[in-house]
A and B are shown apart, each in its own frame.
Chain A
Amino acid sequence: MRFYEFESRRIVERAGIPVTKYGFCTSADQARQAAEDIGGPVVIKSQVLTGGRMKAGGVKFADTPDEAAEHAADILELEINGHMPKGVLVDPKAEVAQEYYASVVWDGTRKCPLMLFSDMGGIDIEEVAEKHPDHVGRGHLSNLVDPPDFRAKEVISHTGVTGSALTRATPILARLARLMRDYDMTLAEINPLAQLADGSFVALDAHMEMENEARPRQKALLDDLGIDPTDMRDPYEPSDFERNVKAIDSADHRGVIQGKDHGFSGNLGLVIGAGGGSLTLTDAVRSQGGKPGNYTEIGGNPSVAKACGLAKEVLKKDGVEKIAVMMSIVSNTRVDIVARGVIKACLELGKDPGETIAIFRIPGAWEEEGFKILERYGVESCDRSVSMWEAAGRAVAKIQGAADPDTPGREAEEVAG
């Protein structure tokens, strides 16, 4: 989950890293007050969970409290990349002598945290790493001991930094590493970490992301930040479809369903699984000219009610004409239960299962029983001898044939039918 900048500042502050005398404001008046408290030129920054603030006009400088209030009023109404700000940060405009970069991230290949430090802060670290590798220090950390100061010292020294800059930056990087660990962050970044004219260091910006799986054990931090447990911080607003599917999933512990439709708007609804199977089948449908109306993942052993609920939500989506029910070979999902669920969904919506389910391809546990049910309701089904690709192709052909009355095949069907 992502944190707003003002939350990230609070997090690093808690960890003992120096921050500015920033103010988080949700009104122009508060911004005026914050600027007065700071008593000098300030920066007003939109608090949104997306990048590109500068470009969009979400970062403005103000020399007086009145100007600060004016800018704050504007920015509070400014939508950036589809996001409305939660508030604004009012920051003292800093007298920066040098900008550094500090972060701690996970290295999936080495399976441990990686510290990164650069004396070329304020810009894209990936660019620096590419063009000025000598200016980037890196160091991996053991998972089994607390991140020691000396590792931070080494990493910083790799960039050539020495003297008081080294001794001041070392505890900051070490504390960043500890907070990354303690709070289960997937990313803990300070860019820029500024050295001011008086030699002191301060975090001018902070970017934190926490692993979702760790939220249950990070309640104390989230409570301290005032973050509601139901606040998922998704990159986009969930659709009705997505919310409804989530509600169906939560209501019943049997099996797991997930539905997404952001970016999907086709006529072929997908009731598919499991994780890898869903990706493979979505590819297969699209590669063969199909237009999915949604994506889903079915896992575990869902009840008839859950399978039915999911299929109904897919069928109720605007533009969805038929559904394809397909999975990779299943071991602990019961084929007959899923068959009951999707057929029931059709019946409850007053639709003919045979017409509405373009194909049913789920090989595995209780498939013989499943076939009995599918046959009874005239649903076209296939066993494991038909590949996932082919099953997807049949579904696409069926829905295209149905949609296009000029298709030769369709006429023959009508005559024969």
Chain B
Amino acid sequence: MAPPEQGLEAVFIEVEVDDSIANDAELAKKLEEVCPVDIFADEDGHVAIVRSALDECVLCELCLEAAPDGAIRIKTLYDGTELVR
């Protein structure tokens, strides 16, 4: 019998958001707007990551552009590097 299917998340991409901006309401709204694949959500003024969307990241870096330098890191798990400003 085939093993059961499982929906996997964050197999290829992980996004880390620094605590310092997690509660920046304006940034939360901006990030939700700019991400073309809906990784960022504005949850009552907090920056939330939609984990099920992480693997859709197209490495466009619009989030890195919108946030203060270093506050967001995009980790490409398949080669152990990360994108950061």
Contacts and interface: CB of A to CB of B under 8 A. Distances in A.
Interface string A355-381: 000000000000001001100110000
Given A304-B56, A337-B58, A350-B2, A344 B8 contact: yes
Main secondary structure of the interface of A (DSSP, over half): helix
Interface in A326-357: 334, 337, 340, 343-344, 347-350
A340 B2 CA distance: 22
Interface in B24-44: 37
Given A303-B56, A340-B12, A348 B78 contact: no
B3 A347 contact: no
Given A372-B78, A373-B78, A376-B78, A348 B58 contact: no
Interface residues of B, number: 17
Nearest to B37: A303
Contacts of A305: 56
A364 to B, nearest CB: 15
B69 interface: no
A303 B36 CA distance: 11
Contacts of A312: 5
26 contacts: A304-B12, A304-B55, A305-B56, A316-B2, A334-B58, A337-B58, A340-B11, A340-B55, A343-B11, A344-B12, A348-B5, A348-B6, A348-B7, A348-B8, A349-B3, A349-B5, A350-B3, A350-B4, A369-B59, A369-B76, A372-B76, A372-B78, A372-B79, A373-B12, A376-B78, A376-B79
Interface of A: 303-305, 312, 316, 334, 337, 340, 343-344, 347-350, 369, 372-373, 376-377
Interface of B: 2-8, 11-12, 37, 55-56, 58-59, 76, 78-79
